Amino acid sequence: MKLRLMLWLLGLLLKRALRRKPRFRELLTDMRGLDWGIGTEDLSIARHYRMTPRGIRTGAGLPVDLDLELRFEDEATALRVLKKPTQQAFLDGMMAGTVRLVGDSGDLQRLQRLLKHL
């Protein structure tokens, strides 16, 4: 339940940043948008975010056309990594096999640059 709430709140924070933070809007405009999602490996908890300079849409589940997916072994692992989302935390999780990145690692770096401005 905590992870569902965290992912839902992340959507609100992204929408708020788009409205209030000029640097966030500028970076998103330069990227021309990013479609990404977060979920557990079994997809029991999953949420996707479709971000464009015109707006951010969010929804349940992970559609197949996303640019980037972050999949976590279980809810506890996701909570631990997402509470302190450093590059080292993601790398450690990938090395341990508890975090899986589906997509381009360049998209992950672009996403991390955006999330700094929340």
Average pLDDT over residues 43-54: 95
φ, ψ of residue 72 to 5 degrees: the values are: -110, 150
Q: Per residue in 66-76, pLDDT tens?
A: 999 999 999 99
Q: Give the global pTM.
A: 0.90
pLDDT the model gives residue 63: 94
CATH number for the region 2-115 comes to 3.30.1050.10
Chain centroid to Cα 33, Å, comes to 13
Query: For the chain, what are the domain ranges?
Result: 2-115
Question: What is the C-alpha to C-alpha distance for residues 26 and 58, in angstroms, rounded to an integer?
Answer: 20
Mean pLDDT (whole number) for 58-85: 92
What's the rounded mean pLDDT across residues 3-27? 95
